[in-house]
């Protein structure tokens, strides 16, 4: 079977997903087009070699609608022969785009594909695309839908994580992210976003709060106590988890992923592409898969999909040097670490979405790039990237560095 390699990756900085956020004035098409352009320009890529552009996007309506991948490729000035498709696997969309691009290459059906994602959460808010899952009464009643945060609080309740436990995790995420920026560990991947006149709009992640402490986090109110207790979602969750006496609401804006704007792009191709382009592969995409998990708690997919993937790849958890587990909520990563008995110094070593933000459609591609850079910096070989996914899913990818 042909192999799929990562040749390069770029991302925008992550702007606060609010009207005063650094990227709010930039359209999602521009965010996507600028990362596509940067990837091309810094690699001297002949875009005629690219078969497809796959971009994850979770709210593909309004200005993110109508196949933003194809449109962004055209806007970026890619050859018109480059096709484009928008992909939605909720929070893992960016990683799913990478996996789908790799699949095209590994099956010999594409020479090269660019994969990534985009989400301007400040411009197209979460849920803007509606959705039968939670809003069609017959569907949400049957599926016992609860908001993700209730699922995260349920994990904390079942696993016995206290408010202080999850806050401590968040403080560490902030500390690591600040240290990573301080040491320039994101320098290679982050490309500045520019305005119409070429001026830099944003060149640094702006969601971080490096001064975060346990005391400052303790001030925040639980975000999901209201919906859980007043609207009835706690009871809905208990119908699935009747062994729970009461759900402890421990997640806040401070220990959950940040709402941000951003985009990312990853250049993927096979040996034929390496020869044609003269580019050196940096890592091999060794294996990937997705899984469905119990949809009400929703966020337990990472451990399940990791077990499935390791088994398929004939690997053990000890074969992985570094992990990126998307910090949708602190409890998600804590459960993952507990499940595999992992020390925290191998997981999200440069912080995660709690500190840096989670631009839904892009995140999977972002953290894949982050961990590849870190493997190279540390001289390590193998990493696993995984995300929990809406409606109870998990997606994971294993990469390993190659000597060009």
Partner 1 sequence: MAVFEGIRLEFGSDGIAVIALDVPGAPLNPLSDAIVAELDGALDAVVAREDVRGLVITSAKPAFAAGWNLKELVGQMESARDAADLYAQTPGLSRFLRRLETCGKPSAAAITGLALGGGLELALACHYRVLADDPSAVVGLPEVKVGLLPGAGGTQRLPRLIGVEKALPLMLEGRSVPPREALALGIVHELAPAADLLARARAWLAAGPEPLQPWDRKGFVVPGGASLLDPRMVGLLTGAVAGVTRATHGNYPAPAAILASAYEGLQLPIDRGLAIERQYFAGLASGPVALNLVRTMFINKGKADKLARRPAGIAPREVTKLGVLGAGMMGAGLAYAGARAGIPVAVLDTTPELAARSLDYAGRVLGRDQKAGRISAEKAQQVLARVRPTTDFADLAGSEFVIEAVFEDRAIKADVTARAEAVIDADAVFASNTSTLPISGLAEASARPGNFIGMHFFSPVERMPLVEIIRGRQTADVALARALDLAKRLGKTPIVVNDSRGFFTSRVFATYCYEGQVLLSEGVSPALIENAGRFAGMPVGPLAVMDEVSLELQYKVVQQTRADLGASFEYPVSWSVLRRFVEDLERTGRKAGAGFYEYPPEGRKFLWPGLATEFPPAAVQPSLEDVKRRLLYIQALEAARCLEEGVLTHPADGDLGSILGWGFPSWTGGVLSFVDTVGAARFVEDCERLADWHGPRFRPPQVLVDLARAGKRLHAAA
Catalytic residues: 91, 358, 388
CB of 239 to partner 1, least distance (A): 6
356, containing H or E segment: helix 353-356
> Judged by CB, which is closer to partner 1: 200, or 239?
239
Q: Which of residues 133-162 bind partner 1 (CB under 8 A)?
A: 134-138, 140-141, 144-146
130: left (phi > 0), else alpha (psi -120 to 50), else beta? left
> Judged by CB, which is closer to partner 1: 49, or 143?
143
Q: Verify binding: residue 238, partner 1, rule CB under 8 A.
A: yes
312, containing H or E segment: helix 301-313
**Segment contacting partner 1 (CB under 8 A): 95-103, 204-212, 230-238, 299-307?**
230-238
From residue 98 to residue 127, what is the string marking binding to partner 1 with x (rule CB under 8 A)?
---------------------------x-x
Please count the residues of this chain forming the interface with partner 1, following the rule CB under 8 A: 31
Q: What is the DSSP string of 38-77?
A: HHHHHHT--GGG--EEEEE-SS-SGGGTTTHHHHHHHHTT
- d(CA 359, CA 38) in angstroms, rounded, equals 19
From residue 244 to residue 283, what is the string marking binding to partner 1 with x (rule CB under 8 A)?
xxx-------------------------------------
Q: Verify binding: residue 242, partner 1, rule CB under 8 A.
A: yes
**Segment contacting partner 1 (CB under 8 A): 129-137, 199-207, 319-327, 336-344?**
129-137
Neighbouring-strand partners of residue 394:
291, 388
**Segment contacting partner 1 (CB under 8 A): 40-48, 172-180, 224-232, 329-337?**
224-232
Binder to partner 1 among 81, 200, 239, 275 (CB under 8 A)? 239
Q: What is the DSSP string of 209-239?
A: -TT--HHHHHTSPPSSHIIIIIISHHHHHHH
Cβ atoms of 91 and 358 within 8 Å: the answer is yes
Q: Verify binding: residue 61, partner 1, rule CB under 8 A.
A: yes
Q: Verify binding: residue 3, partner 1, rule CB under 8 A.
A: no
- d(CA 90, CA 196) in angstroms, rounded, equals 30
Q: Verify binding: residue 235, partner 1, rule CB under 8 A.
A: yes
Number of DSSP helices (H) and strands (E) in the chain, helices first: 15, 12
The pairing of beta strand 193-194 with beta strand 52-56? unpaired
Cβ atoms of 29 and 119 within 8 Å: the answer is no
Q: Which residues bind partner 1 (CB under 8 A)?
A: 61, 125, 127-132, 134-138, 140-141, 144-146, 227, 231-233, 235-236, 238-239, 242-246
């Amino acid at each position: 079977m042909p192999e799929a390699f990562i040749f390069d990756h770029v991302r925008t900085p992550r702007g606060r997903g609010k009207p005063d956020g650094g990227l709010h004035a930039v359209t999602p098409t521009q965010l996507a087009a600028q990362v596509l352009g940067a990837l091309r320009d810094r690699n001297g890529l002949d875009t005629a070699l690219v078969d497809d552009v796959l971009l994850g996007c979770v709210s593909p309506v309004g200005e993110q609608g109508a196949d933003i991948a194809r449109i962004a490729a055209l806007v970026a000035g890619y050859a018109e022969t480059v096709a484009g498709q928008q992909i939605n696997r909720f929070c893992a969309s960016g990683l799913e785009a990478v996996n789908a691009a790799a699949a095209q290459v590994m099956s010999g059906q594409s020479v090269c594909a660019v994969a990534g994602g985009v989400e301007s959460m400040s411009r197209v808010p979460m849920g803007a695309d509606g959705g039968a899952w939670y809003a069609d009464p017959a569907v949400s009643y049957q599926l016992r839908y609860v908001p993700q945060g209730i699922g995260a609080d349920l994990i904390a309740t079942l696993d016995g994580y206290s408010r202080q436990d999850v806050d401590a995790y968040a403080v560490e995420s902030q500390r690591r992210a600040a240290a990573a920026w301080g040491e320039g560990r994101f320098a290679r991947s982050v490309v500045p976003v520019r305005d119409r006149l070429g001026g830099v709009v944003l060149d640094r992640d702006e969601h971080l709060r490096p001064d975060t402490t346990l005391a400052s986090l303790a001030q925040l109110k639980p975000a999901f106590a209201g919906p859980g207790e007043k609207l009835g979602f706690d009871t809905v969750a208990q119908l699935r988890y009747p062994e729970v006496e009461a759900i402890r609401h421990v997640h806040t804006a401070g220990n959950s992923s940040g709402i941000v704007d951003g985009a990312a792009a990853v250049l993927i191709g096979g040996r034929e592409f390496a020869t044609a382009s003269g580019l050196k592969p940096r890592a091999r995409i060794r294996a990937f898969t997705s899984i469905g998990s119990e949809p009400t708690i929703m966020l337990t997919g990472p451990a399940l999909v990791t077990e499935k993937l390791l088994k398929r790849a004939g690997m053990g958890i000890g074969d992985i040097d570094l992990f990126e587990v998307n910090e949708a909520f602190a409890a998600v990563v804590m459960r993952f670490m507990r499940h595999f008995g992992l020390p925290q110094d191998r997981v999200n070593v440069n912080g995660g979405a709690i500190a840096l933000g989670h631009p839904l459609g892009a995140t999977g591609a972002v953290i894949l790039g982050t961990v590849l850079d870190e493997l190279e910096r540390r001289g390590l070989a193998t990493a696993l990237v995984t995300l929990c996914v809406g409606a109870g899913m998990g997606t994971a990818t294993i990469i390993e560095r190659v000597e060009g």
